A and B are shown apart, each in its own frame.
Chain A
Amino acid sequence: MMLDEWVLTVAVFAPLAGAGVIAALPKGREAAVKMSALVASGVALVAGVIALARFDFGSTGEMQLGIDKGWIDSIGARYHMGVDGIALPLLLLTVLLTFLCVLYSQRIMPKPHKPKGFFALILLLETGMAGTFTALDLVLFFVFWELVLVPMYFLIAVWGSERKEYSAIKFFLYTLFGSVFMLLGFLAMYFRSVDPATGKHTFDMLVLQHQAFGSPAFEHMIFLGLFLGFAIKVPMWPFHTWLPDAHGDAPTVGSVLLAGILLKMGTYGFIRIALPMLPERAVEWAPYIGALAVISILYGALNCLAQKDIKRLIAFSSVGHMGFVMLGIATLTDVGINAAVFGMVAHGIITGMLFFLAGSVYERYHTRVIDDIGPGMLLKLPRMGAILAFSAIASLGLPGLAGFWGEVLALLAAFNPARGLSSPLFRAYAVLGGVGTILTAGYFLWLLQRLNLGQVRERWANDPHIDDVRPVEVAAWSPLLVGILALGVYPRAVLEMTGGAVSKLAGFFS
């Protein structure tokens, strides 16, 4: 059917078209720019919802809604897209979160205003992110992957705060550094692959899953390349240092998209590319990845305790949470990978929400230092404070809210890793991860105490510019808040989707 074939293309390229329209609009037409952005991201969102509606939940392990056309014939790169149960939730997360960001920016824009560039870049970013999650051809994947860098660079460098140029460059260099190795890995796989249908080399991600790439040593090198590319993006300790700077200095929606979606590209890369294409190597790498994941968890949590800046704190909390996701992946079990995908979605929603809040707080108080804003924000801004408390508690992994399942299932999986992995080692990881959850609870509750609770600081008590949640914020946030609760109570919404696809993937390891 026509619709099924093109719906993903619409979801991916509608924002790009929107960006084109915005670029063509004359200067000063701010309302038109905003409206175009809203429409373009809205179209992408609708396309995402249609994709969900047309998705066959009976066979989530298969690539669906696929499109496969010739693209660069001389190297065999194809315009091949599709989603399975792992990609679809991430695609939905992308279109939803970007739409909410555009909605939020209708009223609240960072300095220096410049709406034209701002919205065009966000839409360009959306194309890159959505494309990454749908591409089934390594070249296409790589193009989308790199496409993300440029708009994010400018979003940070132009609309950021404090050391924005530094952070932007750092973000750019780190991720570029990683993706070069990733590209090398891709090329290595390409040149060692043979498409049984055509007898030529292939970039097709599905075909590459059933290829041998030569000696184990060679495959290790490929895996190393992929690992560097993905792990920097996740980011795992010790590649995380770009993250707090980039998050801290990015504009609000930049942080939201960065934490909400960009980081997931790394973990998605592991799940979609590294694991299924090099399963034997993945088994050998898993203990080390697990170790780094646990270090990320503990390191992120300890760092959070030391942060004085609310955005940096949330940024470091992402390091920890992504550590749980990576721990789930490292177990190579279906429980673990389910947990990872769930954790990705949950983290996208919760941390996106937290960054929205941090941005709105910054917008009102003009400072991000926790001890300058607090204590007593809950008295000054009861609704905002309550939403912050809710999101923070969700982030620390309270059952009934979205953050819980990703964490606890990852730990469960670590306790029962796949065959071929050392049980005692992974059990130790599970214990250390558990310690991480205590620290996580500690820093979030401490944050709430310093920021939310207590008497209002005199400086702010009578400041009329500090107003409580505005209508646009209600509109942009309520889907996320509902999502946090809904996923917590009904995790099946995601797990039902991922189940089949993950089982298929886990089949490589058992």
Chain B
Amino acid sequence: MVAVLLAHEEAHATAQAAGFFAGNAWLIPALPFVAVGVIVFFGKRFRGKGAEVGIAATSISWLLSVIILVTRYVGGGGPVVLRSVRWFPLGRDLGLGLGMRLDGLTSIMFVVVTTVSLLVQIYSLGYMHGDRRYTWYYAALNIFTGSMLNLVIADNLMQLLIGWELVGICSYLLIGHWWEEKPNSDAAIKAFITTKTGDIPFLIGVFVLFAAARTFNITEIIHQVEDGNLSHVTLTAAAILLFGGAIGKSAQFPLHVWLPDAMAGPTPVSALIHAATMVTAGVFLVARLFPVFEASPQALNEVALIGAFTMLLAALLAMVQDDIKRVLAYSTVSQLAYMMAALGVGAGNAGIFHLFTHAWFKALLFLGAGSVIHAVHSNNMSEMGGLRKFMPHTYRTFLIGSVALAGIPPLAGFWSKDEILTEAFRVGARTIPAHGSPVVGSIVYGVGIVTAFLTAFYMSRAVHLTFQGEYRGHGRPHESPATMTGPLWVLAGLSLVAGFAGFPGWQKGFGAWVGVGGETRVPEAHLLLIAVSVVVALAGIGLGRALYARVPARDPLLRLGWFHTLLVNKYYLDEFYMRGIVRPIRDRVSAAIGTRKGGGILRYLQSGDVQRYAAALFAGVAILAFLFTKF
């Protein structure tokens, strides 16, 4: 791999040389935590009820992140900055550090997380206005932001795991923010338990790496992988187990079921946690430990195939949803699967590039959906329609986001999606060497094209149902306040331009910054491939327009018959989990154990018959005396 990773030796030198900002990047995750303390204990006394504290802290973090990214970019990449302190000792020769590993990937993630978090917090000023747990909401958002940043900066797997679990609990807390309603707390529990299920393989994977490498430190582990110190079996096992965590967090099949339900939370939360940041943690994890995955073709193939499978699965589901947030949720699952598939075919940079662009337009779409929901007080598109007239800002920004997602040039989504498809195609065509199987590359490309078509179609459907035609809801909707439309326009702007960061042939491209896998692989643009994907996207949009331009009385998708039923029921997966796993354990197994009259044998022994006790006593004494003298 690149010099960035081999720069470990100079690490401590670079900590000073990196300059003040890079050297003190640990401040970025620390600040939100400080804000949490202030908000929890003093929040209610502030005029803004604590919101301003969170926004201020996140702003500083954001500023630092941008400075670091810019200086790195100006410096043409720059070294990895490593710093750590010993946290606590662990036995004779071990210890756990608390450290930072600041490289391209971290810098990018910093900017993504802090920007979206900041915008969401500003947006929430309007959206959450008057909420009964307004102060707590901001505290939780800041715990989340801090934890996510900690996950990103972590230089060892244990620290990463801590961030990983903390974002999980924040997700739980925020999904269940309106816990007075039982479905919301149900969704929160489902999200936590489902992702936790993935966390166990992740934890075991960390242990596998630790057992082999005797360290949690990511840099050292990667070194050992590159030096070939770790056996293939170990690496395959570790990679597949770690990917289990990514499956849970990034909502990949078969653990994707929690994400749509997670839409029970406030919409800004969905934008932050369930679109732009936390759900990308799984992708980030694979990228962070990419050398481990690269060392094992089996693991890479698994990643790619799970990704390919999930992207199609979720895109199909997105077509039949009536709840606008669920459309976006399934879309998120599908797009995350794109990133996974990209990593799986070895195109790490393309995957992260898509993560980067996706964050903007998906956050934009969620916030736009939130704006709509705020106006019509319903999540259902069947109660929307015609909002274009009432909410011009929301409409325009939402449209930009949709087009970006659909992959129309020159918007952000096009560049990243196309890079992924191109890479997959090249792997399939064996024009570039790949760690995984070429067949898998072809599969990813084929499924990716189909998914691109579906993506364009369902976004077209959503836009038409929401904004075109006549208003079908109650009351008279109104445009949202500036605190809400402002962030929308910022994100819309980013969705317009972010794609150029990865313009093929420009400098060394996005990959030179990030340096995740295939660093040497310069992205190429194939005009034919571009043409194919643009045509497919346009076809999707066109089909959507044809079917939904005039809102039909009967959903045309019903013509799919049994397949539609299957989709509406989410492939019956939820049913299966509930009836096959959760209920049996929760209700039957535990009841069987819990209510069984324990101590049957003891009950027999404790008959209350003194003479039986005495018999046992004497027998015991005799036997013991015999044993004690014998031995």
List 22 A–B pairs whose Cβ atoms lie within 8 Å, in order of A's numbering: A188-B628, A214-B631, A218-B631, A241-B602, A302-B589, A302-B590, A305-B585, A305-B594, A306-B590, A306-B593, A334-B92, A416-B207, A416-B210, A431-B200, A449-B179, A449-B182, A452-B179, A454-B180, A454-B182, A454-B185, A495-B88, A499-B89
Q: Does B166 contact A (CB under 8 A)?
A: yes
Shortest distance between the CB of B174 and any CB in chain A (Å): 14
Contacts of B181 in A (CB 8 A): 454
Interchain CB contact (< 8 A) of B193 among A218, A376, A438 = A438
Q: Does A287 contact B (CB under 8 A)?
A: no
Residue of A nearest to B627 (CB): A221
Interface residues of B in 617-631 (CB under 8 A from A): 624, 627-628, 631
Q: Does B87 contact A (CB under 8 A)?
A: yes
Give chain B's interface residue range (CB within 8 Å of chain A): 35 or more
Contacts of A302 in B (CB 8 A): 585, 589-590, 593-594
- Tell me whether A415 and B204 are in contact (CB under 8 A): yes
Interface residues of A in 472-510 (CB under 8 A from B): 490-492, 495-496, 499, 502-503, 506
Q: Does B598 contact A (CB under 8 A)?
A: yes
Contacts of A408 in B (CB 8 A): 158, 161, 203
Interface centre among B90, B181, B189, B585 (most CB of A within 10 A): B90
Residue of B nearest to A240 (CB): B598
Residue of A nearest to B595 (CB): A306
A-contact 0/1 string along B77-93, CB 8 Å cutoff? 00000000001111110
Q: Does B474 contact A (CB under 8 A)?
A: no
Alpha-carbon distance between A408 and B94 when the two chains are bound, in angstroms: 15
Q: Chain B's interface: helix, strand, loop or mixed, by majority?
A: helix
Interchain CB contact (< 8 A) of A506 among B91, B189, B602 = B91
The segment from A86-94, A268-276, A393-401 found at the interface with B is A393-401
Q: Does B306 contact A (CB under 8 A)?
A: no
Q: Does B192 contact A (CB under 8 A)?
A: yes
The segment from A2-10, A116-124, A440-448 found at the interface with B is A440-448
Contacts of A217 in B (CB 8 A): 631
- Tell me whether B165 and A434 are in contact (CB under 8 A): no
Interface residues of A in 404-432 (CB under 8 A from B): 404, 408-409, 411-412, 415-416, 430-431
Contacts of B585 in A (CB 8 A): 302, 305, 439
- Tell me whether A411 and B207 are in contact (CB under 8 A): yes
Known: A303-B594, A399-B161, A449-B189. A335 touches B197 (CB 8 A): no
Alpha-carbon distance between A358 and B204 when the two chains are bound, in angstroms: 34
Alpha-carbon distance between A462 and B181 when the two chains are bound, in angstroms: 20
Shortest distance between the CB of A379 and any CB in chain B (Å): 7
Contacts of B94 in A (CB 8 A): 335
Residue of B nearest to A221 (CB): B627
Known: A305-B590, A306-B595, A379-B180. A441 touches B196 (CB 8 A): yes
Q: Does A437 contact B (CB under 8 A)?
A: yes
- Tell me whether A492 and B165 are in contact (CB under 8 A): no
Contacts of A437 in B (CB 8 A): 196, 200
Known: A218-B631, A412-B210, A492-B89. A306 touches B591 (CB 8 A): yes
- Tell me whether B624 and A430 are in contact (CB under 8 A): no
Shortest distance between the CB of A4 and any CB in chain B (Å): 26
Residue of A nearest to B582 (CB): A442
Contacts of A303 in B (CB 8 A): 590, 593-594
Interchain CB contact (< 8 A) of B196 among A221, A438, A455, A506 = A438
- Tell me whether A399 and B166 are in contact (CB under 8 A): yes
Q: Chain A's interface: helix, strand, loop or mixed, by majority?
A: helix
Shortest distance between the CB of B354 and any CB in chain A (Å): 29
Shortest distance between the CB of B121 and any CB in chain A (Å): 22
Contacts of A490 in B (CB 8 A): 88
Q: Does A252 contact B (CB under 8 A)?
A: no
Alpha-carbon distance between A335 and B586 when the two chains are bound, in angstroms: 33
- Tell me whether B204 and A492 are in contact (CB under 8 A): no
Alpha-carbon distance between A430 and B203 when the two chains are bound, in angstroms: 10
Contacts of A306 in B (CB 8 A): 590-591, 593-595
- Tell me whether A442 and B200 are in contact (CB under 8 A): no
Contacts of A304 in B (CB 8 A): 590
Q: Does A299 contact B (CB under 8 A)?
A: yes
- Tell me whether A445 and B193 are in contact (CB under 8 A): yes
Interface centre among A184, A188, A412 (most CB of B within 10 A): A412
Alpha-carbon distance between A409 and B585 when the two chains are bound, in angstroms: 27
Interchain CB contact (< 8 A) of B189 among A188, A241, A446 = A446
Interchain CB contact (< 8 A) of A184 among B211, B591, B606, B624 = B624
Interface centre among B88, B91, B161, B186 (most CB of A within 10 A): B91
Alpha-carbon distance between A302 and B593 when the two chains are bound, in angstroms: 7
Contacts of B88 in A (CB 8 A): 490-492, 495-496
Shortest distance between the CB of A403 and any CB in chain B (Å): 11
Q: Does B172 contact A (CB under 8 A)?
A: yes
- Tell me whether B91 and A398 are in contact (CB under 8 A): no
A-contact 0/1 string along B148-164, CB 8 Å cutoff? 00000000001001100
